[in-house]
Amino acid sequence: MSVHILYFAGLREALGQTSERLALPGHVGSVGELHAHLVARGGAWQALLTTKNLRVAVNQQMAAMRTPVADGDEVAFFPPVTGG
C-alpha cells in the first residue's frame, strides 16, 4: 500500500519537505499507525509527537487517529492554524 503524505506549516519546516509518497508496511492501516510509523523514523520526525493539537486529514476530510488509510490515500498532517 502506498499513500501520499503532505506536511504543512511548522511540520514542513521541521521535516524539510512538503510531501512524500510512502510505501507502508502491512501493519499500518490507520492514521494512528501511520503516525507511529513516521515517528519511529526518529530525529526530526519527533516533531510529529511534539506538535500540540496535531490535525490530520485523509483525502481532504478531517480525520481521527483511528481513521483507516487505504492505498492511494492522501494524508495531511498540520498544526492548528488561525486566520486573520
Question: Does residue 19 sit in helix, strand or coil?
Answer: strand
- pTM here is 0.91
For 51-66, what is each residue's pLDDT tens digit?
888 999 999 999 999 9
Question: Does residue 77 sit in helix, strand or coil?
Answer: strand
For 5-47, what is each residue's pLDDT tens digit?
999 988 999 999 999 999 999 999 999 999 999 999 999 999 8
pLDDT given for residue 82 in this prediction? 53
Q: Does pLDDT of 84 surpass 60? A: no
- Comparing 19 with 83, the larger pLDDT belongs to 19
Domain range summary for the chain, segments of one domain joined by + = 2-61
pLDDT given for residue 50 in this prediction? 87
Q: Secondary structure of the chain: what % helix, strand, coil (to 5)?
A: 30, 30, 45
